[in-house]
Structure 1
Amino acid sequence: MDEENPVALADICLAWICLNLRQLCERRSDGSLCFHRCPVFPQELADQLLCRMAEEGVLNDGTIGIFRSHEHLRLRRALLRSSHLSAEPFRLAICPHRLQELDVSRIKGDLTVSDVLLSLANEECRESLQKLVLTGLDLRGENVEASSLSFSALRGVKSLGLAGTELDDSGLEDVSALPLLEALDISNTNVTDLRALLGCQASLRSLTAHGLTCLDMTPAQLLYVLSHLPGLRHLDLSDNTLNADRDCVVKQLLEEPGILPSLVSLDVSGHRELTDAAIQAFVEARPGMTFIGLLATQAGFCDFFTGKSKLKVAGEANIAQISEALHRYSERECFVREALVHLYSLTNDSDEPQPDVLKLVSTAMQSHAHSLHVQLLATACVFNLTSQDLAIGIPLRLLGNIVRQLLAAMRNFPNHEQLQKNCLLTLCSDRILQDVPFDRFEAAKLVMMWLSTREDQTLQRMAVAIVSILVSKLTTEETTQLGAEAFIMKQLLCIVQQKASVGVVDSTLKFALSALWNLTDETPTACQHFIECQGLELYVEVLESYYSESSIQQKVLGLLNNIAEVAELRTELLDEDLVQHVLNLLQSPEVEVGVSYFAGGILANLASSGEATWNLDLELRNIVVAKLHSAIMTWTPPEREMVSYRTFQPFYPLLDSSQPTGVQLWAVWAMNLVCGQNAPHYGKMLQDEGGFALLKTLITHPNTHNDVRRLAEGILCSLEQQQCLG
């Protein structure tokens, strides 16, 4: 699969251009853009740039101006679908090119079919154009005469897509006069009579005609037209809204001997009353057939259609048929929904990764981002396809695309309980949260917004777990921004309050404490919000209530240590009862080293500010400093990783020669701890931040205590032996 391979260099470059268009361009007097400097693009690359701009949503009246320079950006395939474009910018950019293919389907703006035809005034372009797709456009503007709307000048067109336009019988006559027309899509138009197609019976090879609600022909008349199209190879009469009379037409078509002898593809999805026997007989009579569409027909379940053969089936009998349906009908919401219903049933007990199926679901979600029914079904299928260990066998890039679609669904339908639950269930995966590339900042906000209005305990536990892991993966800047969101802080504290009020020790409480700990890491703003939200008072209660729970104590002290690192907030912690409680935890032989370690961090930071800011009894400060020294000398580093740091910056002020020995000793012990666990990472951090020089200064200073000196020398010696310092 493409997702398993590195991204192509050309794709990386095109994505970069799309992201930096404004910087690469200057404005003309009419507001359109042109490149400051533009080399001659290879022709295929120019096509790819235009297509990529449309896909990324950056193609509009201004940016399309870069393609006016047809000497440097020569287009052959102009794919502009779903872009925001007006008639005049489109004409100026597209008219000069000798196009072979033009796709302006579902353009958002005032561009009409008439505008497109008028823009193709270039004689060379009219002769070269072979494929034109106008799906979903209005036929003509208010001031355009009906007589000006004519396809007759496009003499070279072989493929024409007019689905979803107001095409009527006179328009069909005009189209049918095109001498080279081979493929025609007139689905969901106002056509009432197909007899005009007899005008192109010699050339027509493909006819797509679903959703013709205005069609006014008897079954006999319709079969007459089809019987006079002997060269037809592809026929699509699918539709889940056709009435019983139309079903009757399809039944008669299947039973008509000798009709459409050249057919290789027939789509009759949506016609409910078809039988396997009739369809099998039709296919067997045409041995060249390669595709049959049977979704929502109650057919396709016999061995002839489910066995291995060259015949592809879009149906619902098995995963292969459903995959074909999702591929064929990706832009047709009703059929996507139908396929997803059956896919969900068939993937409830999946035991093998199916990345190809997951990719089809991702495409469906992207194509129908604002359809609740599609998103609800798709998110349920995504969970089935990624649950348990299935996500391990799926490429990271594909999982990243899936997560982006899940976040979009959460954003678009914030109040739909089941959809949000589906998304949370999928996100609650170690593979996704730890390894997959996606916007974790946005995800954390979305999950917290959902959590703030829900009380379901199971979902609450899951949501808090997700947030806890997401926050630990954010950059310092992102954490600061997230910590500034008061509702997030309040919601997490509310969960801690709920659990603490009844003395519960569960994963929800632990995850909430971890999230708050990570949220305040090196983020003074978040620490300030924590205090303003009465978090300090709550944490003092938790310390007292969970005295025997080391895991709870460690998380609480870790957050208080984050606050103690902020010089401006230290006075908030200078409460005699709190300091005494933390001092007891520092010395207690009953607590784990992790608890003592963070207790020591709080006390070291509080004592580091000097006597001038210590507003408690000075004798207590002397006791704190002395107990720090004696307690640290008894610590043994744990075998497992206890803590990690993004920077050593908070430690450097503690190493100053003016600091008490106990304060210095705690900082050096902390640095030694993490350097021993991951020497390459922390050795580089020390060198990049200038910590190496600070340690050497500490070692050589005459007032440095021998215990501090020995530990600092041990750090440098160990890092040098492992070649972690230059």
Structure 2
Amino acid sequence: MSLGSMNTYCPWEDNSPEPLLDICGKYVIAHPETFCVKHQLSGLWFLRPGSALPTELCERLIGLWQDLDPEKLDDRFINIFRDLSNTRLKRINLRSSSVSDDGLSVLLSHNLIELDISNCRKLSERTLANINKKGGNLLTLVIGKTNDILPSTVSLESSSDKEDSPASEAKQKDYILRTPNLRKLVVRDLIQPRYDGYFVVLLKPLTRLTHLDLSGCFYLHDIKYLRPMKHLVSINLHSAQRVQDAIPVLSEIKTLKFLDVSQANQTCGMFEYPDTTLANLVTSLPNLASLDISGTNLSGDGTFDERSSTETRRPDLCDIPGLRCRINNPLEFLGLYNTLHDACHRNHIPAKVITGDANEEQILAAMEAYVDRPDVLVKALNELFHIFRFETCHNQNRALNLILLAMLRHRREKHIQISGSASLFYIAKSEDKNSLSVRARQKMIIVLLDAMETHLEDSTMMRNGCLTLCQFRIPQDVASLFEYRRLVQLLLHLIKGRGDGDDFVRRIAIYLLNSLACQVDGEQKELVGDLGAIETMLKLINDRLHQHVHDDMLEIAWSAMWNVTDETPVNCLRFLNGEGMRYFQKCLKASVANTFPDKPELLRNMMGLLGNVAEVKDLRHRLMTPELLTTFADLLDSNSDGIEVSYNAAGVLSHIASGGAEAWTIDCPTRAEVLERMVAAIERWDLASKRNINYRSFEPILRLLEVHHTPQCQHWAAWALANLTRVYPEKYCSLVEEEGGIPLLQALLASPTPYSRIKNLAKIVIVQCQHYKELEKTCVRKEDKGEITSSSGGGGGRSSNSGITVA
């Protein structure tokens, strides 16, 4: 209902941590066994003996369910509130939940004072009977669009014809709702009643009502039955049938402060004498503070009959003829959205808050006021999108809160989700995006995931969602492991795709999955593998090979597997078991045959992945074939992508050779021949080479420093550390120190086994780390004196930098 500007502050606006109550609540909802016992046959949860939940916690648990996914809120969870001695409830919102008549009966036993059951599809007329039995204390009842609860008509049958029917009970006892203390009633879109006295029977017993919402209801007929309601302060007749006939009665309800006679369809909002009708209505209601005439012609055409004005003030001070009496006493709120003659664009309107489409403020006010009207909300969201796209949104935080609220409230309204996500894209990519709090970014991602999961088959929604997700810091902005799982599952679904027409979305999804995989640790990498990432990538590679297509999707598929196998043996095993080596050889042959020419990233990514496999001692024997070892040795001479392919090939061979001579189980090529070629390749590399690689940990490289039986392995490891600490000292010197690399390098210098070149490289690393450490101390001292500010970067996940540009 149009009650003026709402308070749109959202708890995720600032960077304060999520309340502990909410964190714990979400956990126990996901793991009800922590405080409940499940009945094996019925599946219902019962409160664990000895447990007791206060009112605040009980109501918050239901609220958190609503935030997560209201459709999953059902009788199984609601049953824990059957224990009336150890649980307490007063105010319940079940909007769009899956609670049935039985579940609601459990809740009604708590003598509720507020209840919202709008859009609960599993409720029937049995709920009406339960409300009448247990709802004596109800002050607020929101039935909303759940039309099956109320009888379609007031039956004229005798009690013997239909004894148990709530409809016949209503006829016999002259009521539909027996809730004598009710102050607020919301019944929307009730279109079935045909009996003239239906609303008389519904409303006459509710003598204490102060707020009544009958928006969208048909067959209201003569609403004289409202006259006896002496306490009414708010009436909502939005899109009610024949609202024109209601104006005389409404004018007599002097207590009214909030009145809504707006229409969604302009043709239903035409008044014969709009200026006079509005003037008489407003003059008759001295307490009126909020008025909504959207979708009607009550605002007039902006012209005045000068003869009717004897006032000395200028007539142009008010551009809505019917509101001239409020020039010096402006309304707190005025709804002008979609009025005839574009009333919201006029200059002099006697109201503090106005809904319309003339400017940003009016559009945001409309979104606040009409959050429960999907048809109007879609239009307002589209207008807000155009502001973000072509102009400047001056109140981005307020707009963001309203977009998220709209998307959360109407998850299944596809057009709201599409339009809302389009605006989220511009917010996420704007220059002000860094001002968004951590929780705001997390909430945006959660709402996007909700929308994409709900509308998986809509290509526009998928495109909007993926493009918007690309604007975030993935995975840093992902709220939890649960959301991380959801995001990975969604991306894998999109990567699998439904045909060539989905390649744009698939390309972005692969890019995002690659970003997710390259910056996380073992547990999350394992999760990505558990969810089928390796198999999905191999399937995509197979499709590309079959179509003879080499594009960035093929390269990123290998890159994603490179990242997800990094220090994650179980994923390396998945790659091998998925015939990954067969795809490696096919891609390699295609590259050599120039089927995939001028694509050095492909070779680099493939060899990087095999480097991860080679690091796993138990899997190296699966690489020990003459064909593969010959391939790796030949790639030592590759100049593809600078030194990267040659470097990765040497890394693979170093790890294989680290198993010792007895582990080299093939005759050709010989171990000595391969090691000799490897050293020759290392010596060709420029120690100052800039790299297209990123290490999170040096542990596999540091292990090779201790392989004294094969100094060639130490050579590669020492060169890698010398190169990285020299070219990127701010990133890798501290990593060498943190992981205990300096003692290993010093031990290598003291050992007689390594040849001089290895020791020279080891000295370079030690000196470089010492130099950087001294530099850091100097910078800190200068910073303390206010002379300089210095910061050092940290390591990320080892990954390639291949990706796509998303506009």
What interval of TM-score do these two structures reach, taking the shorter chain for normalisation? 0.7 to 0.9
The verdict on how the C-alpha distance between 1:630 and 1:416 changes in structure 2, with shifts beyond 3 A counting, is: same
Contact 2:214 2:237 (C-alpha < 8 Å) held by counterparts: yes
Determine if the alignment matches structure 1 residue 76 to structure 2 residue 93.
no
1:388 Cα deviation (Å)? 4.9
Q: Which residue of 1 aligns with 2:27?
A: 16
Q: Distance in 2 between matches of 1:222 and 1:385?
A: 44
Deviations 1:476-532 (A, max 9, x none): 21332355553433325655887876xxxx866654553343244342213443626
Q: Distance in 1 between matches of 2:563 and 2:202?
A: 68
1:21 Cα deviation (Å)? 1.9
Q: Which residue of 1 aligns with 2:116?
A: 103
Contact 2:344 2:354 (C-alpha < 8 Å) held by counterparts: no
Contact 2:363 2:380 (C-alpha < 8 Å) held by counterparts: yes
Deviations 1:563-619 (A, max 9, x none): 43442431357446523422323xx6x974444421210221333344555465456
1:288 Cα deviation (Å)? 4.8
Identity, in percent, stands at: 23
Determine if the alignment matches structure 1 residue 332 to structure 2 residue 379.
no
Q: Distance in 2 between matches of 1:640 and 1:200?
A: 84
Q: Which residue of 1 aligns with 2:139?
A: 130
Contact 2:388 2:426 (C-alpha < 8 Å) held by counterparts: yes
Q: Which residue of 2 aligns with 1:254?
A: 278
Q: Which residue of 1 aligns with 2:104?
A: 90
1:79 Cα deviation (Å)? 2.1
Q: Secondary structure at the match of 2:217?
A: coil
Q: Distance in 2 between matches of 1:617 and 1:40?
A: 72
Contact 1:68 1:94 (C-alpha < 8 Å) held by counterparts: no
Q: Which moved more, 1:433-442 or 1:545-554?
A: 545-554
Q: Which residue of 1 aligns with 2:167?
A: 146
- Normalised to the residue count of structure 2, the TM-score between the two structures is 0.75
1:206 Cα deviation (Å)? 0.7
Q: Which residue of 1 aligns with 2:796?
A: none
Q: Distance in 1 between matches of 2:546 and 2:495?
A: 17
Q: Distance in 1 between matches of 2:475 and 2:53?
A: 43
| Corresponding residue pairs, total | 700
- Normalised to the residue count of structure 1, the TM-score between the two structures is 0.82
The verdict on how the C-alpha distance between 1:527 and 1:109 changes in structure 2, with shifts beyond 3 A counting, is: same
Q: Which residue of 1 aligns with 2:527?
A: 478
Contact 1:543 1:556 (C-alpha < 8 Å) held by counterparts: no
Q: Secondary structure at the match of 1:228?
A: coil
Q: Which residue of 1 aligns with 2:790?
A: none
1:313 Cα deviation (Å)? 1.6
Structure 1, unpaired ranges of 5+? none
1:159 Cα deviation (Å)? 1.0
1:37 Cα deviation (Å)? 3.7
Contact 1:61 1:86 (C-alpha < 8 Å) held by counterparts: yes
Determine if the alignment matches structure 1 residue 155 to structure 2 residue 190.
no
Determine if the alignment matches structure 1 residue 222 to structure 2 residue 222.
no
The verdict on how the C-alpha distance between 1:304 and 1:148 changes in structure 2, with shifts beyond 3 A counting, is: farther
Contact 1:40 1:71 (C-alpha < 8 Å) held by counterparts: no
**Residue type at the aligned position of 1:663:** C
Deviations 1:609-660 (A, max 9, x none): 4455546545642122234345546756558665344555655774565741
The verdict on how the C-alpha distance between 1:578 and 1:397 changes in structure 2, with shifts beyond 3 A counting, is: same
Q: Distance in 2 between matches of 1:91 and 1:393?
A: 46
The verdict on how the C-alpha distance between 1:418 and 1:106 changes in structure 2, with shifts beyond 3 A counting, is: closer
Q: Which residue of 1 aligns with 2:63?
A: 51
1:183 Cα deviation (Å)? 0.5
Q: Which residue of 1 aligns with 2:308?
A: none
The verdict on how the C-alpha distance between 1:162 and 1:273 changes in structure 2, with shifts beyond 3 A counting, is: closer
Query: Taking CA–CA contacts closer than 8 Å with sequence separation of 6 or more, which of the two structures ends up with the larger relative contact order?
Result: 2
Determine if the alignment matches structure 1 residue 118 to structure 2 residue 130.
yes
**1:183-582 → structure 2 map (5 Å cutoff):** 183-213=211-241, 215=242, 219=244, 221-241=245-265, 243-244=267-268, 247-248=271-272, 253-256=277-280, 258-271=283-296, 274-275=299-300, 277=302, 280-286=320-326, 287-298=329-340, 299-304=342-347, 311-351=352-392, 354-429=396-471, 431=473, 435=477, 437=479, 439=484, 440-450=487-497, 453-454=499-500, 462=508, 464-473=510-519, 475-481=524-530, 484=533, 486-492=535-541, 494=543, 511-521=556-566, 522=568, 523-524=571-572, 525-529=574-578, 531=580, 534-542=583-591, 545=594, 553-565=603-615, 566-571=619-624, 574-575=627-628, 577-582=630-635
Q: Which residue of 1 aligns with 2:653?
A: 603
Q: Distance in 1 between matches of 2:763 and 2:132?
A: 78
Structure 2, unpaired ranges of 5+? 1-8, 152-161, 304-318, 777-807
Q: Distance in 2 between matches of 1:666 and 1:702?
A: 18
Q: Which moved more, 1:492-501 or 1:511-520?
A: 492-501
Contact 2:93 2:116 (C-alpha < 8 Å) held by counterparts: yes
Contact 1:177 1:199 (C-alpha < 8 Å) held by counterparts: no
1:107 Cα deviation (Å)? 2.1
The verdict on how the C-alpha distance between 1:252 and 1:472 changes in structure 2, with shifts beyond 3 A counting, is: farther
Contact 1:383 1:426 (C-alpha < 8 Å) held by counterparts: yes
Q: Secondary structure at the match of 1:134?
A: strand
CA RMSD of aligned residues (A): 4.1
**Residue type at the aligned position of 2:80:** I
Contact 2:270 2:297 (C-alpha < 8 Å) held by counterparts: no
Deviations 1:640-687 (A, max 9, x none): 665344555655774565741112332455466667634555655x47
Q: Which of 69, 74, 79 is the aligned partner of 1:65?
A: 79
